[in-house]
Structure 1
Amino acid sequence: MTTHLHEGDLPEGLDLGPVVAIDSETMGLKLGRDPLCVVQLSSGNGDAHVVRLNRPAYDCPRLKALLADPNVLKLFHFGRFDIAMFQLHLGVETRPVYCTKIASRLARTYTDRHGLKDVTRELLGIELSKAQQSSDWGADQLSPDQLAYAASDVLNLHALKQKLDLMLAREGRTHLAQACFDFLPVRARLDLAGWEDVDIFAHA
């Protein structure tokens, strides 16, 4: 496994293929308050590409083009937050998308543990460390531990998708999952518009 660090944007000519795992790191989890700092990506080949973004300009045309490319499927775990961050700070709507957390909730109804660490442990037998999750992602330099953590969040998403796709198909929920994935960018827009804590489908 190799982790490549890029400053500001993806390098010119980099082809990550038709399915790309993506995650992001921020200074916190509050939309509109906390900036987007880092985006990490993997093509599923065992390598990770970590982009330390230039703030506040966010001048990253190649990354933005990838996020909006209709021919590239973007894999997330809890994509709702990342997609909203990309809409807010990068000005792009990320499509098409697949979210392993949504897939897990629809397929693994025997548990309420759908965090990336739990799903990866059960389905792949891999133990992830979350020690760097709350570190300073806005720092001028990222530490080796931060880079390793960022990479770990995307390196297993392709394999998780394969496992979850089989479970979704077995339970007859593939089409339902796809409808949820298609709605995710809209859910992100609702979050940004102020409905992040409101279930608009609820009766009350």
Structure 2
Amino acid sequence: MSRASAVFHLHDGDLPDDLDLGPVVAIDTETMGLNPHRDRLCLVQLSAGDGEAHLVQIRPVSLGGRYADCPNLKALLTDDSVTKLMHFARFDVAILQHALDITVAPVICTKIAARLVRTFTERHGLAQLCRELLGVELAKHQQTSDWGQATLTPEQQSYAASDVLHLHALWEKLEALLIREGRRDLAQACYDFLPARARLDLLGYEEPDIFSHRA
């Protein structure tokens, strides 16, 4: 799917009341930076894997919004019957848990899957995986744009949508590899730990590593 053909819907502050995205929802976030304590959550992207993306713009009061008042989005993120499919879920889970004061679960992470089965390479970025496993090119030129502005450009919206539109197909490929290599259960154990790993990150336990033997 090309960027030009992407179908996306921009929502102000929350998902619509009647939206059903099914049992597995691809999710990504855009933020003002990579420090969850300092940098605010600006956008949450979601897709049911049907070629459409829903973009929820999260705006603080200073930009005419109500930052954490998004009950439908929170309900989806905390629904234990809905699997949240992400790439580098460790960060997305942390920023969502910190910004919205929730626990995000259950979660699947395609980056963890790639690291478990593609040990012949150190390149596990989303664009690289989509290129090699799906034959899809993702342009990343909007990655470092200003996501905090009150009005997002069409280019930003299209870029944000593309980051969730291919996650279902990518997970299908990676799950098959996990099963082939006998590591599907190990991957699941990692996924189950992600909400706690995010809480540890938010508490500052990236370093020291509490699992390390060193004093």
Deviation sequence 1:60-94 (CA, Å, 0-9, x none)? 00000000000000000000111111111101111
1:102 aligns with 112
Structure 2 counterparts to residues 8-157 of structure 1, below 5 A: 8-55=13-60, 57-157=67-167
- Rounded to whole Å, the distance in 1 between the matches of 2:60 and 2:27 is 19
2:64 aligns with none
Matched, 1:190 2:200: yes
- Rounded to whole Å, the distance in 2 between the matches of 1:102 and 1:109 is 11
- Rounded to whole Å, the distance in 2 between the matches of 1:2 and 1:156 is 12
Check 1:154–1:197 CA distance in 2 against 1; reply closer, same or farther (3 A cut). Answer: farther
Task: Kindly state the Cα deviation for residue 203 of structure 1 after the two structures are TM-superposed.
Answer: 2.4
- Rounded to whole Å, the distance in 2 between the matches of 1:197 and 1:133 is 27
Residue identity (%): 62
Give the number of equivalent residue pairs: 204
- Rounded to whole Å, the distance in 2 between the matches of 1:85 and 1:71 is 21
Task: Kindly state the Cα deviation for residue 2 of structure 1 after the two structures are TM-superposed.
Answer: 1.3
2:171 aligns with one of 161, 164, 173: 161
Deviation sequence 1:32-81 (CA, Å, 0-9, x none)? 00000100000000000001013253210000000000000000000011
Specify the SS of the correspondent of 2:191. helix
Specify the SS of the correspondent of 1:58. coil
Gaps of 5+ in 1: none
- Rounded to whole Å, the distance in 2 between the matches of 1:14 and 1:197 is 40
The runs of at least 4 consecutive aligned structure 1 residues that moved more than 6 Å come to none
Specify the SS of the correspondent of 2:69. coil
| TM-score, scaled relative to structure 2 | 0.93
Deviation sequence 1:98-136 (CA, Å, 0-9, x none)? 000000000111111001111111100111111001111
- Rounded to whole Å, the distance in 2 between the matches of 1:196 and 1:45 is 36
Specify the SS of the correspondent of 2:150. coil
- Rounded to whole Å, the distance in 1 between the matches of 2:30 and 2:175 is 26
| TM-score, scaled relative to structure 1 | 0.98
Task: Kindly state the Cα deviation for residue 201 of structure 1 after the two structures are TM-superposed.
Answer: 1.8
Whether the 8 Å CA contact 2:59–2:150 is kept in 1: the answer is no
- CA RMSD, Structure 1 to Structure 2 (Å): 0.9
Gaps of 5+ in 2: 1-5, 62-66
